[in-house]
Structure 1
Amino acid sequence: MAKKGSGVQVLSRAAALLRVVSGAMPNGVTTSDAARQSDMARPTAHRILDSLAAEGFCDQDAKSGRWLLGPELFLLGNIAGARYDVTETAQKHVHALAQQTEESAFFSTLRGNETVCLVREDGAFPIRSFVLYEGRRFPLGVASAGLAILAFMPQRQVEDYLAEHDLIAEHSAAHSPASIRERIADGRHKGYVTNPGLIVEGSWGIAAPVFDVTGFPAGALSLTGIEQRFKQPRRDEIGKLLMHHAHELSQALQQQAWNQR
């Protein structure tokens, strides 16, 4: 039994490291940073990364020593994409939002207790936010996409999540359970949520949830930009536009899911 448990632990650690490397693309990540972000000792992280590289799941840059995603993941991703890829469907809504608002637009999806950005497109407005990009992950409740998803989960799940995860330590007192509950209540009332510069001062975000075939919030469309561009009444106008596209995308993804059954 001990041997089996150890194997499961190694697999879990390998998955954690792959997520860290993915979030650091395209520049890659050092062994030390990968170990720190995945909460494991540096020798352990290096050993697992070496094993992943031997299988083609990771690649280490010869000059910088940074770890990158490997070619085997590209091959597996192409195969999995035939069933799970939603980016093509989401892309047209992200494009429309970027064109209509001139802000940076995104589609993020739920993975465990995190959101991961899958699609980004910048609008015409010259000042942009680089907080969010393809592959970037945030815990639920942090950044507008994660807040939008959390806000429309069943209340019991929301309370369980807030009880089990301390977001203050890494993301400031603005992410206390009480503060998140206030933003959730506001989001449920309006249909969209707002991140008023809580990650980077002056960089605001607005998001609306995207629902799967069961009615569960499995993703979110979001927009980011400078604070001056998100003042009222424009904020409500953008929020309504986001809700419109989120509703259309929800219907499209639900139909796509039914067609695959």
Structure 2
Amino acid sequence: MQGTQLIVRAAAILRRVGSGGAEGVTTADVAAATDLPRSTAQRVLAALAEEGFVDRDARRGRWHLGPELFLLGSVAAERYDVTSTARDILRSLAAKTGESAFFSARRGAETVCLAGEEGSFPLRSHVLHEGIRLPLGVASAGLAILAYLPLEDAEIYIKSRDQELASAYGDQHAALPLTRRLTATRRRGYAVNPGLIVPGSWGIGAAVFDRTGSPAWALSLTGVESRFNGDRTAHLGALLLEAAHALTQRISRRG
């Protein structure tokens, strides 16, 4: 690999390492996600480690994001980070509902989970965690964001990713059922993921908008199916929409 290709591959590797959260990822995980031979992935990871961009837990053999990224991220946060603005809203949602609350950002055709607060209910969904990346339309946060993109953009995305999403996440993520869920999301105002990634693990999400009116972030609640059935889903959705509206206004005032 040389030039631009190397930069693209290194960026993909860093994203995959970041998506591993506190558990980290193995070299095999990175190779599979980036379509690189394991030996090549190992060489690039070693080079990134030399520069401090990744770090390896020698005992467990797993890779994590490194200290240099923390330093760069601290500088970039002054311009881009709104997580601190959302923290108290996440805590309030978790306290009011007992479910786990999450804040995710749109990055191109994906969502990235930026922050989470655990609820008091002892049984939890483990689909989301800080750092995980998921395609738009997958999980409630990505569904909420996709629903509020311009209709033409959403349709183009669905058509272009039809087979890929269905293959990776099941037939319910093919174009027709995904389009139906988007229609339902626009009607309700919030998205519902009825255990489509992990059976029995439900989520609801609401879009948070930037100053131009674009869906740039999402708030979501996740939990076990028995906690999201019937009238309680509507109650949780109303709380989530209220919180998303408050956060949108707060971000707009923040400028």
**Alignment TM-score > 0.5, same fold:** yes
Specify the code of the residue in structure 1 equivalent to 2:156.
D
Q: 1:14 aligns with which of 10, 14, 34?
A: 10
**1:152-175 deviation digits (Å, cap 9, x = unpaired):** 100111111112212011100010
Q: 1:32 aligns with which of 28, 48, 68?
A: 28
Tell which deviates more after alignment, 26-35 or 190-199: 26-35
Query: Does the residue aligned with 1:56 lie in a helix, a strand or coil?
Result: coil
Distance 2:25 2:187 in 1: 40
Distance 1:11 1:42 in 2: 18
Distance 1:25 1:206 in 2: 22
**1:97-149 deviation digits (Å, cap 9, x = unpaired):** 10111111111110121111111111111111111011111110000000000
Distance 1:229 1:130 in 2: 15
Q: 1:75 aligns with which of 71, 74, 77?
A: 71
**1:185 and 2:217 are equivalent in the alignment:** no
Cα shift at 1:232: 1.9
Specify the code of the residue in structure 2 equivalent to 1:189.
R
Distance 1:84 1:112 in 2: 15
Aligned to 1:43: 39
Distance 1:85 1:148 in 2: 20
**1:20-70 deviation digits (Å, cap 9, x = unpaired):** 101112222111111101222212211211111111101122222221111
Aligned to 2:58: 62
Distance 1:58 1:12 in 2: 16
Aligned to 2:87: 91
Aligned to 2:225: 227
Distance 2:153 2:199 in 1: 29
Q: 1:246 aligns with which of 244, 247, 250?
A: 244
Cα shift at 1:205: 0.4
Q: 2:156 aligns with which of 146, 149, 160?
A: 160
Specify the code of the residue in structure 2 equivalent to 1:163.
K
Aligned to 1:212: 210
Specify the code of the residue in structure 2 equivalent to 1:99.
A
Specify the code of the residue in structure 2 equivalent to 1:86.
V
The CA RMSD over aligned residues, in Å, is: 1.2
Cα shift at 1:186: 0.4
Q: 2:138 aligns with which of 142, 166, 191?
A: 142
Specify the code of the residue in structure 2 equivalent to 1:125.
F
Query: Does the residue aligned with 1:63 lie in a helix, a strand or coil?
Result: coil
Distance 1:170 1:227 in 2: 22
Runs of at least 5 residues in structure 2 that lack an aligned partner in the other structure: none
Q: TM-score, normalised on structure 2?
A: 0.96
Query: Does the residue aligned with 1:224 lie in a helix, a strand or coil?
Result: strand
Equivalent pairs, count: 253
Distance 2:155 2:95 in 1: 37
Specify the code of the residue in structure 2 equivalent to 1:239.
G
